[in-house]
Structures are given as structure tokens and as C-alpha cells.
Structure 1
């Protein structure tokens, strides 16, 4: 296995450097913004800006790569990401940070797509699953490490703006120095609501709700933790523990969803997330330990829902449509990610910290009610017809290329999915 991983080791290193920088960047902005007196509404708009940029990056990057090539495109993405971080240090106002955060989202999506397309090209069919698993672990570990680094220094200075910029620049080295052949064109997707709805209504509503909830928490969790008086170490843990817990919880929840109606499992997980929402709203706990336990429980629920939804959608899709379904739902998740931080930010501005969890509670209630309605209207998929559950990183760190790497469908028909028809399964959930 070591021999098989050597050809992709440089790409994994580049991805780790990218996610390490991204982890620092994503946490320093809300923490520093709160220290500078930025309003919760403006900090929520940082998440909206990121999501807008990320969706635009997923859409536009394939065209950019087609014009200038993989290496040049990756260099542009990494370079502009570093510039965005440094400008955030020089221009300490929320109204400059929002477009700069959109620039970061665009660059991050583009760079991730290029790395993932390279991994897809290099991975052999016999090792693709292990490489995808290792890639997911590397990204999770690097992103978490980047967030936890903030506990080692002073967040009021320039250090945690300069360090991410350095690591963004270092991330372009492995691809720039690679002598291997360039991969095939990147996967391109577009948002086709009608096709996605025909394939699975639950997936459409579910991924929108999850986008609202997850992006709101991902953007403003540090603001909430800082607002209730947690120390910087606890703030970093409050933001990173949920992601780790979500990665672990996908194993038993995925096993369960492969054996039961995925919609019922989704309802159960959403109910667990809603229970945590209500505890945060009703009790407003101030205990450091209780907040960390609750945040981990919350993350175990919210970050396990997206892969359940993707698996459910693929249960109804034709075998050659996995990439276009997953890519289209990712774009829809991006729409939810644009709305979530915006609603939560204004909610926190008017209602305090409870506004964050009221936003996610509303999304979880809608998801539970709609999935329950669909269970009453349509029978579940036969177990023999189910697609395999594929554990996934937090959807915000995914691109259409992630689906390609996970599924292994990189033939010419799957490489361009814009004109692919959608499933019209009448029993779609």
C-alpha cells in the first residue's frame, strides 16, 4: 500500500497544507472580528460570502482549468487565497472582509477541485477507496490542527493572518513541482432543480436544510463560544470537536442507514440535532465541559446528515448518474450555506447566542416534517437496490470532484455531466 500511495503523496501533502491554512483562516476571522467589535450579523455575512465564492468556484474552475491548465490554475487559486488573508489583516472592517471571504471561498473550491481531480486520475481502481479514505482523514486532521494552532498564540496580533498566507503559498509547491501527466478535464456541474426533485424530493429539501444549519454553526460557533465567555482553547475546541465527532458518527449511522429506510434514519439524526438545539436555547449553559460535550453531540448529528442524503439520492439515481446527482446537491447545499449564516447572524444580533440555534432548530424541524411526510407517501427502497453509503467530510469542504474520487466514475460520460438526464423513478423518496 505504501508503494501505491507514493504517487499521490505530494498531492495529499498539498491538500493538507491547503486545509491547515483554511482551518486557521476560518477560525481567526470570527474570533478577531468579535474582538474588533464586529456585529454578529456582519460575521454571519462572512459565511454567506464564503458560500457564494465556494459555489462560484465549483462552477467556474473547470472552465479556468480548460483555458490555462491545472498547474497555473492551482497557482492562481493559492496565490489569491494568500492575498485575501493578508488583506483581511490590513483592512480590519467587516465590509472588506465579506468580499475577501468570498474570494477565499472561490480559491479554496478551485484548489480543492484541482487536487481531487489529480487524485482521481492517479488512483487505481483497487486502491481508490483507501485513497479516498486517507484523503478524507488528511483533510480532517489538517483542518482541525489549523484551528487548534490558534490556542498557542495571541489572536489579537498579525500571526494568525500571516501563517495561513504562508501555508497557502506552500500548498502550491507539490503541484508546481510535479512532473506527472496532467489529469483529465474537471467535472462540471449545474444546478437542475427539476431533475433533482424528480430524483428525490427528500434530498432536495434535506440538503437545503442541512446547508442552512451546518453553515450557520460552522460560521458562528466561535462567535457563540466567545460570547459566553469561553477561553480561546475552549473556543477552538467548541468549533473543532463537532467536526471530529461528525466524522466518527458517520460509521455507525451509515451502517444503520444501509439497513433501514434512510429517511427514518435521517429523521432520527435530525431529532438528535434538534434536541441539542433546544438545550442550547433553553438552558444557555455556561459550563465549559457541558458546552464542549453538547457541541460534540451536535456535530455528531449535523455532520452525519449530508452523506445520508447523498446515499438516499443515489438510491434512486441510475448507476451512471452518481456524480451529477452528488454535484447538483452540493450546489443546492451551497444555496443553503448562503442563507444559513445570514439568518443566524441577524438572529444572534437580535436574540443573542440563542439566535444561532433557533436558526438550526427551524431547519431541523422542517427536515423532520418533510421527511416524515415522504415516508407516508412513498415506500422505502428495497435493501438490495440501495447504493453504498460513503462517509464524507463536512460538505462545505467537498467539491464535485470529491464525488468523482469517491465513486471512481471518471469515464468520458461522467466527466461532463451538464447534459445528463435525471432519474424519473416514480418511487423516489
Structure 2
């Protein structure tokens, strides 16, 4: 593990700086949209633009990397992302801001793919899960710390935009000055989303719901906090605690899902997340501290659902299918994330700021109901056939998802190999899935 971390330090430092800038940028754009008089509904559409760009970047970047190379793509995308940020205070126009959010999402998706390709190249079967866990801590830690940078300067000015640009530009240096060779790159042939759904309906539906929830929280959380009258310091803490909760509770929840039927853990966690979302409504009336506690617990329950649903999907795939399924899972999450902010904004427009948490409660309760239904349709995957639940950052590219599937699937496959069990036929595997 030490050798892998030593080899990956430059990459991890670059990603930490990128997430500092990106975390600050997402919250700043949402906050600034309200300050500029954009409606809540349009602010939701604006924040959805990032995830639309992210989906496009996840699809198109692998083709560009194969033609141009990792280093050039990384430098070009980071430079473009840094430039686009500076245009926001110059051209305060809703349509242009939407276009710029799409471009930002495209750039960040490409940067993740390039970075995670390097990370995958540096990992071995023994260190892949540990490196991914460290990567997740750096990614979410950077994003959470970025929220606190909202307090550095007035969001109504231009200084924070300059700070974001500086962070994104500095993120280039560790990678460009590193002597690590660029990895080989091969984009897996995707498994169709329909085929993946037939293999694991709960896993795919859960991933899409997680995208809806996470997209709404990341896109509209800062707008919600501003609308209920939080001062700037509390807004940054509110967003930071949601992300911090996901780091703190990720491992205990993942450990439980390795020990018990993962569907029951998904059911319990998603229903508790729905309860926390409902609790946020009265908590906001009680005190700021009460809402901050609920926000921490909600983040700790909601964001780990991503890892649970991906791991559950892996449990219902043959090892040779796992890498091919990565792009389809990213598509499912991305579709949900692209719809999340705009849908939550529409609900907030109808019933007020608390509409955000009513929306989140309905999404998580819906996953719970569907999990109960699926448990009546298929038998549980035997515990000995379950893979490990590997922590996943909230914005994983197909490369990271493939790494997760290799890391989580290796456990079950290794047991099968030791027992001399042959792989089941594809048709039979689908019939026995959840």
C-alpha cells in the first residue's frame, strides 16, 4: 500500500486541489444565482447543467484520450475549466451560465477519467480497494473543505471565482511535473442498461435514485440554506457536514452490508435517510444546530447508498461482466443527477425551500418500497457469494466504477476459484438475479 501511495501522491494531490475548487465552485454558483435574482426553478436547471456536461464528458473523453494522450487531455481540460470559471462574473447571463456549467461538468468528468486511469494503473489487486478508499476520502474531503472557502471573500464579488481558477490551475502542476508514465487506456465495451437492469433491478434503480438525491443535494443544498436565511458561515458548514457525514458513516454501513443480506441494509439505510430528510423540516424551525446535526446524519446515510447499490449490482453479475457494466452504472447515476436539481427546484418552487427535503424523502422512501418488492421476487444472494462493499466517491467515472467492480468482485471470484466452482452460464445467472 505504501508503495502505491508513494507512486500516486502527485495524482492524489492534484485531485485534492481539483475538488477544493470544484466544491467551492458548485456552492458559489448556486449561491450567486440567487444573489443575481435567478428564480429557484432556473437555478435548478442551471445546476443540472453540470451533470449534463458530466454525462457528456464521461462518454466522449475516452475517445479523446485514446487519440491525444492522458497528459495533454488533463492539461487541456483543467485549463478550460479554469478559464470558464472566470467568465461567470464577467457575463452574468442565465443562458451563458448554463452553457458554462455544462462545460465545467464536461471538463471535470474528463479530469476524473484521466486521473482514475492513472490510479487504476498504479493499483494491484491487493491495493485497489485501499487506494479507492483513500481516493474517496481525498475527493469528498476536498469537496467538503471547498464549502468552507465560501467564507474567504464576498460571494457577490469576483475574488472567489479567481480563487477557484487558481486552485484548478495549481492542480495541473503535480501531474505535469510527475515522472510517472502515462497508463495504457482501454475503454470497456458497455453492457446495455436494459440488460443490466434485468440482472439487478434494485441495483440499477437504486443507482438512479442515488443520482437524483445526490444531484439535488449538491445542486440545491446551498440554495435551500440561503432561502431559509442561513448566514454564509452556516451555509458552508451545512454543506460541509452533509459531505463529512458520508465519509464517517461509509465504512460502518459498508461493513454491515458485507455481513448481512445487502438488500436489508439498503432498505434500512434508505428508509433512515428518508426519516432524516423529513426530520430536517421541523429541525430547521428549532435551531440552526439541530438542522446541522440532521444534515450530517442525512449525508451519512444518503451518500453511502451509492456504494451499496453498486456493490449489490456486482453481486448479481458474473466477474467478466463487471467492467462492462461500469459505463451503464455511470449512465444510470448521471441521468438521475441531471434530473435531480431541476426536479427538486420545481418542488421547492411549489411548496417553498422545504420542498428539497420532501423531495429527498420521497426518493429514498421509493427506493425502500422497491427494495421490499424485489425481496418478494428473488431469493437473496448467498453471503459467501457477496463481494466487498468498496467506498465510491460521489462523482465516479466509468474508470473508477470499473476499479470498484474489480475490487468488490475479486472476493467472491476468489472464493469460487478456491472451491473449484465454474462460472454460471449468462442465461442462468440472469434468471437467479434479484
TM-score by length of 2: 0.91
My pick for the range that moved more, 76-85 or 176-185, is: 176-185
Contact 1:263 1:371 in 2 (8 A): yes
Give the gaps of 5 or more residues in structure 1.
410-420
Q: Is the counterpart of residue 51 in structure 1 residue 29 in structure 2?
A: no
What is residue 143 of structure 1 aligned with on the other side?
143
Q: Which residue of the partner structure matches residue 401 of structure 1? A: 399
Does residue 337 of structure 2 align to residue 332 of structure 1? no
Q: Is the 8 A contact 1:113 1:186 kept in 2?
A: no
In structure 1, the residue corresponding to 2:430 is in which secondary structure?
coil
Q: Number of aligned pairs?
A: 416
Conservation of the 8 A alpha-carbon contact between 1:12 and 1:138: yes
Give a deviation string over 1:270-297, Cα, whole Å, max 9, x none.
1111112222346652511011011111
The 3-state SS of whatever aligns with 1:12 is: helix
CA gap 1:2/1:388 in 2 versus in 1, 3 angstroms: closer
Structure 1 residue 230: deviation in Å? 1.0
CA displacement 1:160-214 (0-9 Å, x = unmatched): 1011111111212223233332211143564622211121011121111121112
Q: Deviations over 1:258-317 (max 9, x none)?
A: 122211111111111111222234665251101101111111111111111111111111
Structure 1 position 358 matched with structure 2 position 363: no
Distance 1:186 1:61 in 2: 12
| Cα separation, 1, equivalents of 2:132 and 2:85 | 29
TM-score norm. by structure 1 comes to 0.92
**Residue 342 (structure 1) shift:** 1.1
Q: Deviation at 1:125? A: 3.8
Kindly state the Cα deviation for residue 365 of structure 1 after the two structures are TM-superposed.
Answer: 2.5
Instruction: Answer yes or no: is the 8 Å Cα contact 2:80–2:107 preserved in 1.
Output: yes
Counterpart mapping for 1:224-235 below 5 A: 224-235=224-235
Matches within 5 A, 1:383-402: 383-394=383-394, 397-402=395-400
State the Cα deviation string for residues 344-390 of structure 1 (Å, max 9, x = none).
Answer: 11111221112212222221222111111110111111011111111
* Partner SS, residue 88 of structure 2: helix
CA distance in 1, matches of 2:428, 2:133: 28
User: 2 CA distance for matches of 1:106 and 1:190?
Assistant: 20
1:426 aligns with 2:431: yes
CA RMSD of aligned residues (A): 1.9
Q: Structure 2: how far apart are the matches of 1:159 and 1:200?
A: 47
Q: Give deviations 1:42-61, integer Å, cap 9, x for gaps.
A: 11112211111101111111
Closer, same or farther in 2 for the Cα pair 1:422/1:211, shift >3 Å? farther
Structure 2 Cα separation of the partners of residues 407 and 274 of structure 1: 27
Question: What is the DSSP-based 3-state SS (H/G/I as helix, E as strand, rest coil) of the residue aligned with 2:187?
Answer: coil
Unmatched 5+ stretches in structure 2: 408-425
Q: CA deviation at 1:32?
A: 1.3
| Distance (Å, rounded) in 2 between the aligned partners of 1:300 and 1:425 | 32
| Cα distance between partner residues in 1 of 2:115 and 2:189 | 17
1:7: how far off?
Answer: 2.0
Q: What are the Cα deviations for residues 369-419 of structure 1, in whole angstroms up to 9, with x where unaligned?
A: 11111101111110111111112222xx2111112344557xxxxxxxxxx
Q: What SS does structure 2 have at the residue aligned with 1:156?
A: coil
Residue 4 of structure 1 deviates from its aligned partner by 4.3
| CA distance 1:95–1:73, change in 2 (3 Å) | same
1:4-37 per-residue CA deviation (whole Å, 9 max, x = no partner) reads 4332111111111111111111111111111122
For residues 3-402 of structure 1, the aligned pairs below 5 Å read 3-188=3-188, 190=190, 192-281=192-281, 284-285=284-285, 287-394=287-394, 397-402=395-400
SS at match of 1:222: helix
Against the structure 1 CA distance between its residues 186 and 20, is the aligned structure 2 distance closer, same or farther, given a 3 Å change threshold? farther
The SS at the match of 1:377 is coil
Shift of 1:224: 0.7
1:108-161 CA-to-partner distances (Å, cap 9, x unmatched) read 010111011112112344433332222222222222222111123221111110
Query: In 2, distance between residues paired with 1:290 and 1:369?
Result: 28
C-alpha change, 1:366 and 1:189, in structure 2 (3 Å) is farther
CA deviation string 1:64-121 (max 9, x = no partner): 0111111111111101111221111212222221111111011001011101111211
Spell out the pairing of 1:407-418 with structure 2 (5 A cutoff). Answer: 407=405
1:413 alignment counterpart: none
Paired residue secondary structure (2:259):
coil
